[in-house]
Structure 1
């Protein structure tokens, strides 16, 4: 009986450090979670102000304007999903970077190499992930997109666990917000002059599941009047720097060659995608 009691005491003593380790792990980001909550609360106050603060029409006198709340409105929803690679060596480093004010960067989700998904910003809030970017007629991608960071240094394969979790996440987000398949793109697509992520990414694997577009197996030679610059612009690329746009296009859809020159095969792929978009 005494031995059993001693063994029980030892078990309790051994479990105490594990309990504290779990508690410490859970509370590691308690301070930044509190900051997040307070900032979200302030945004909430702004939305409920009657009338909205600082939203007067400056060129009209006060007696010529008023605020009457409509009953027909809703929350703005995302219309794009932008994929990134973290250029880090661990999810932990990325999470830490996104909880530091000085970095001024964030994303809605981080998907680890092990397949674990960390959400860091509410879907309805604006995360700082796209930066200076353009896609079609959209110049402020941060305001209309969700950012997903993949834990990857940019020069390594993406693990099966990571891709499977990404597919699960995309399935939910695409359905929830009715995001078109063509609006699931990469950071390098929207910022071709300065970004390469997600590098060496299996875009076809995603397109086969309905996330993003891909070209057909059978291609045709484009007509003589086919203009690659116009095709790239219609797809969405910023062609103000055409070589950069070509590289970004090839980084996404060709991958075996990312030179700023379009071969006949490249033009056939571009022509096929141009018709899809």
Structure 2
């Protein structure tokens, strides 16, 4: 049957993107989600060849020949945020209103409950114009996870436990490298501060989600190039002070000033060698 392979993949895709709850407070938004997913599926079924013209306006010969070797794109990064709102319910509302233009794949409540809001293969709007390494469209390569936290208090044990279990699932499912678990401030150092100074990056690193400095630190060499080290880790150093503050919020968490003490330099030297 024509397109049989593609129809099978799309059928699986639609089954996984369809939200299971059909009733309740989000019945309307779940319906909109299913409709939008179906529209994307129809786009994938289009088999019209690309139409191109040369400098004289002459149409180039082209035809569609479908390959049998393909699959869905997969995420390669996980970006962790805090919601900066007062409750998970408030965040769910924010992410189900079109005018906010913001979303995430997962929201984790303070009680540890996980809200799966978008299929992992689809592109959420959580990273904005952030940059990490050479990637200037982080949304297209990442999964966004929002933690219900206002930024002024520690995260609950239940919340972090659920996060660690979810991260283990994502890492295994998509073969996400250890280095590719980052925070919102890491990729947007001039605009964001989340997940903030209370986030337990060391605990996550011990579980294999991101790196952390060793207990015994080697002294950073004389003339150690801070900007190069930060850039090799992934930071956008076009604003060096912001990049330093973001690094300190993630890997040191004692203060977020753009001034590096000797200990800070040692930590940076140790961390960058892991990348």
1:39-58 equivalence runs, <5 A: 39-51=36-48, 55-58=50-53
Q: 203, 222, 225: which one pairs with 2:223?
A: 225
Deviation at 1:265, TM superposition (A): 0.4
1:1-277 equivalence runs, <5 A: 26-51=23-48, 55-59=50-54, 61-200=58-197, 201-277=199-275
CA offset digits 1:179-223 (Å, max 9, x no partner): 011000000000000000001211001001111110100101111
CA offset digits 1:39-62 (Å, max 9, x no partner): 00000000011126xx43354844
3-state SS in 1 of match to 2:186? helix
Q: What is the CA–CA distance in structure 2 between the aligned matches of 1:182 and 1:88, rounded to whole Å? A: 28
Sort the Cα spacing of 1:250 and 1:65 in 2 relative to 1 into closer, same or farther, 3 A: same
What are structure 1's unaligned runs of at least 5 residues? 1-23
Q: What is the CA–CA distance in structure 2 between the aligned matches of 1:63 and 1:258, rounded to whole Å? A: 56
Q: What is the CA–CA distance in structure 1 between the aligned matches of 2:256 and 2:144, rounded to whole Å? A: 24
Q: What is the CA–CA distance in structure 1 between the aligned matches of 2:27 and 2:206, rounded to whole Å? A: 40
3-state SS in 2 of match to 1:240? coil
CA offset digits 1:70-105 (Å, max 9, x no partner): 111110000000000000111000000000000000
3-state SS in 1 of match to 2:92? helix
Sort the Cα spacing of 1:218 and 1:48 in 2 relative to 1 into closer, same or farther, 3 A: same
The structure in which a higher percent of residues are helix is: 1
3-state SS in 2 of match to 1:64? coil
Q: What is the CA–CA distance in structure 1 between the aligned matches of 2:90 and 2:235, rounded to whole Å? A: 31
Q: What is the CA–CA distance in structure 2 between the aligned matches of 1:249 and 1:203, rounded to whole Å? A: 12
Q: Is the 8 A contact 2:79 2:143 kept in 1?
A: yes
Return the index of the structure with the highest Cα Rg. Answer: 1
Deviation at 1:138, TM superposition (A): 0.3
Q: What is the CA–CA distance in structure 2 between the aligned matches of 1:245 and 1:219, rounded to whole Å? A: 21
Deviation at 1:66, TM superposition (A): 1.8
RMSD of Structure 2 on Structure 1 (CA):
1.5
Q: What is the CA–CA distance in structure 2 between the aligned matches of 1:76 and 1:84, rounded to whole Å? A: 23
What are structure 2's unaligned runs of at least 5 residues? 1-20
Deviation at 1:225, TM superposition (A): 3.1
Counterpart position of 1:6: none
Report how many aligned residue pairs link the two structures.
Answer: 252
3-state SS in 1 of match to 2:273? helix
